[in-house]
């Protein structure tokens, strides 16, 4: 009976570990996706707020 109890405990522990492992993986993926979209939004906002840069004047060639 002790052997069966140990096996059940091992199975229960494995299920708990897998459950929490998948929770961590899923949350990490969600965080990465949100971070990437926030970064893209920030880059677009910076481009929108940055003043336009005038092109450098062309110097005429000296003979």
- Higher per-residue pLDDT: 8 or 60: 8
The predicted pLDDT at position 52 comes to 76
Taking alpha carbons only, the member of 8, 47, 27 closest to residue 39 is: 47
Number of domains forming the structure of the chain: 1
Does residue 14 lie in a domain region?
no
Q: What percent of the chain has pLDDT over 70?
A: 97
15 confidence band (pLDDT: 50, 70, 90): very high
Helices (H), 1-63: 2-49
For all residues of the chain together, what is the average pLDDT? 88
Residue 36: domain span: 21-50
Q: What average pLDDT does the segment 37-41 reach?
A: 90
Does residue 15 lie in a domain region?
no
Does residue 42 lie in a domain region?
yes
The predicted pLDDT at position 27 comes to 94
Does residue 6 lie in a domain region?
no
Q: What average pLDDT does the segment 5-30 reach?
A: 94
């Amino acid at each position: 009976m002790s052997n069966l109890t140990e096996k059940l405990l091992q199975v229960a522990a494995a299920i708990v570990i897998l459950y929490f492992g998948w929770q961590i993986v899923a949350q990490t993926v969600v965080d990465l996706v949100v971070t990437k979209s926030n970064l893209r939004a920030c880059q677009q906002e910076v481009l929108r707020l940055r003043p336009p840069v005038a092109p450098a004047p062309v110097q005429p060639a000296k003979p």
